[in-house]
Structure 1
Amino acid sequence: MSAPLLDTPRVTEASAAAPLDVAIAGTRGVPANYSGFETFAEELGARLVERGHRVTVYGRVPYVGRQRRRHRGIEVVPVRGPRGKHLETPCHTLLSAFSSLRRSHDVVLLCNAANAFALPLFGLRGAATAINVDGVDRLRRKWGRLGRLWFWAGERLSLRWADQPLTDATCLRDYYREVHEVELPVIAYGGERGPLPGPDHPALTRHGLRAGDYALVVGRLEPENNALAVVEAYRDVPGDHPLVVVGDAPYADAYKAQVRAAADRRVVFTGGVYGEGYLALMAYSACYVAAGEVGGTHPALVEAMTFGGGPIVANDVPEHREVLGESALFYVSRAELSAALARCFSEPERGAELRAAARARADERYRWDAVTDAYEALFHAMARQSQGARS
């Protein structure tokens, strides 16, 4: 497998045979019903369980319920905490860390550099700690000065306190090299093709959608994901083809109101859609719009490459260029976005070529089994080093 899987440590057969106790924290929990880190926790966790490891995911009560349970073999531990834009994530992470002290995990994988402050607590009972730093979140427009400072501190603490910080995109590795003068390993995000629901799935029929007749944009309705720019550009796309906007955001009411006010009659807002409904909307779309501007490997983009029904139209930022190569239509301006969307409906042959190229690229570079191989090797190496340090 070619990059973006890099610097994967090798493990001996003896060490690889020993099952590990792995915890994943810093997400809202599984099953995935919010964003990419939740899908990551579910797909990685389930595959580690299949390989004989014990996996615990610490989740937030509003998303996973109040009772401990198992999902795809993963033990889901609900953790209560306050709600709120600024305090919810750090408070939940801190409470998850305290909860983890009741267990003897071999490895804890923490998601998002904003949670790095809790790394020493997660490692208090001897667990080796890794952190996937995510994107450069301090650049997100939703954060004020204090929020940006918190994320900047998180970047520094990730490097200081984690046994192994890592990222999911080479452009983020380059950022950490240039800004923090460190070299991070890269383990990419994954995507897999499997059985798909039919085109008569309720996710389509309840909105009057027909297979191959609508454009799709997926993501939290926050400024840096640019749903407003897509909706505005769609006004200049000819025809009656719907634009389907999938996603929501708990603390962005003003922005969501802007997006809805800018929409013409063809725009369909579905809210958050997960599972089979999400697969159906992705698989039968005429094209997918990747409009985000901040982050690493965007999960929905990999999924669009893997099982999307049409070509991808992407904001021309380094993160998208890294993932897509030349297998998409790129835009910079609103006019270019409108023109690219119009081409998706008027040039089906070119769209089919781009879709095939994107799928081939995803098959080569973004496979969950290869992602799990890399994390499993990393976890074994970390656990072995941690045990050696304690002996």
Structure 2
Amino acid sequence: MKIAILGTRGIPANYGGFEIFAEQCAVRLALRGHEVTVYGRSHYVPGSLRTYRDVRLVVLPTLRWKYTDTVVHTFLSVLHALPQRYDVLLICNAANSLFALFPRIFRVPVAVNVDGIERRRKKWNWLGRAYYAISERLSLWFPDAIVTDAQVIERYYRENYGARSFFIPYGTVTEKPATTETLERLGLSPGGYFLYVSRLEPENNAHLVIQAFERVRTGKRLVVVGDAPYATRYIRQLKQTRDPRILLPGAIYGPGYRQLQAHAFCYIHATEVGGSHPALIEAMGQGNLIVANGTPENAEVLSNTGVLYRVNDVEDLARCLQDAEDHPQVYATLRQAALHRAQACYSWDKVVSEYEELLSGLVARRNTRSVRSATLLSSSDDRRNPPARSHRQI
């Protein structure tokens, strides 16, 4: 198949979950013999980079503003994609559902991964929330298929809209990194720190994690990894903590990020909005002890392989962290259980196989319709223009 992935910042991944998904999915599909293109943004992917691990890259500009960055780039990407004769498009982010209309008009199959219920994010003003609410509804009409990465979100679409979606979760790798150079650079020791990873935006609750950790009696450190392009004021507030045990090194990607995940004493997951969060699944893949915000999405992913605290409750989070510090042997079995669940449910190879099956099914359905339409047209022409009868010679 000739496949295009749109709606992310691009690859190689150096930002968030959609970018990691695009890289893992594109590279694995290319290894299986498909011709894959990933569209990226010019301020994120170097313009000189044309291919990455046998994946074709198309780098386009956008309007760099919180409310236009994604949609302007995806609009331009769709316009570029239409004449390229792709077999199928995979668009990420519910905000881009509107643009699925154009490939549909040109009979190009398209699937949209809607992520979570984005209009609930605190970072959006009323206009942003309204746009996401409209986009949520457009996702019911324009794409050929909706993809949800959590059963909670799949159920939301079914119960609120009567819409069928395809549940395909996020994936992870379970191999341990060979070195600890990032820990050494940050002055950390294996097992000597609590880890929090996320985009540093209010609904991801880094401020609550810091407040809770400040109450924990421990000699270990808290490492808050992440950044966000449009949350300067919020990040500045986080850095005002006076606890010397708390380290905010900014965003760390690739091998360095995996080293931090692999050697943490405990991973803290505090997000409250979204589907299945990449960092949570990746922490499971490294066999971490996980303490997570008790949302339905997080409970679904963990499935009793971690500790849940009451939603956004600082006191309960502090209690869970203190308990993990005081009684680590009690939670040892959870580490192994999390790893086993990640291996069984969140393997990237399994995830990509499910996407491959979905996309090939959309292409097959398009081709079947084309054949049926051609047959009907042919039959209609036959009725309108019957073949001339031969005249027998007498």
Scaled by the length of structure 2, what TM-score is found?
A: 0.91
Which letter does structure 2 place at the counterpart of 1:327? Answer: T
Deviation sequence 1:234-270 (CA, Å, 0-9, x none): 1111122110011000001111112112351111111
Aligned to 1:254: 233
- Structure 1 window deviating more from structure 2 (339-348 vs 144-153): it is 339-348
Where does 1:1-391 land on structure 2 (aligned, <5 Å)?
20-199=1-180, 201=181, 203-262=182-241, 264-308=243-287, 310-332=288-310, 333-391=313-371
CA distance in 1, matches of 2:323, 2:183: 23
Deviations 1:180-233 (A, max 9, x none): 12121201111121241323x1x2112211110000000000011000000011
Structure 2 contact 214–243 (Cα < 8 Å) conserved = yes
**CA–CA separation in structure 2 for the residues paired with 1:106 and 1:361:** 34
- What secondary structure does 2:178 align onto? coil
> Would you say the 8 A contact 2:218–2:325 is kept in 1?
no
Note if contact 2:148-2:167 (Cα within 8 Å) is conserved in structure 1.
Answer: yes
Contact 2:10 2:22 in 1 (8 A): yes
Structure 1 residue 277 displacement after superposition: 0.2
* Structure 2 residue identity aligned to 1:212: G
For structure 1, which segment, 253-262 or 134-143, has the greater mean C-alpha deviation from structure 2 after superposition?
253-262
Contact 1:67 1:78 in 2 (8 A): no
**Gap regions ≥5 residues in structure 1:** 1-19
CA RMSD after TM alignment: 1.2
Question: How many equivalent residue pairs?
Answer: 369
In structure 1, C-alpha distance between the alignment counterparts of 2:91 and 2:328, rounded to whole Å: 43
CA 1:223 to 1:105, structure 2 compared with 1: closer, same or farther past 3 Å? Answer: same
Q: Distance in 2 between matches of 1:73 and 1:342?
A: 47
Please tell me the residue identity of whatever aligns with 1:368.
Answer: W
Please give the alpha-carbon distance, in whole angstroms, between the structure 2 residues aligned to 1:180 and 1:25. 25
CA distance in 2, matches of 1:182, 1:243: 42
Which AA in structure 2 matches 1:388? Answer: T
Mapped to 1, the partners of 2:306 and 2:212 lie a distance apart of 18
Match of 1:63, SS state, is: coil
Instruction: Report the residue type matching 1:385 in the other structure.
Output: R
Q: Please state whether the residue corresponding to 1:86 is helix, strand or coil.
A: coil
Q: Percent identity?
A: 43
Q: Which residue does the alignment assign to 1:11?
A: none
Alpha-carbon separation, structure 2, partners of 1:212 and 1:198: 14
Instruction: From the superposition, tell whether residues 86 and 263 of structure 1 become closer, same or farther in structure 2 (CA, over 3 Å).
Output: farther
SS across alignment from 1:261? coil
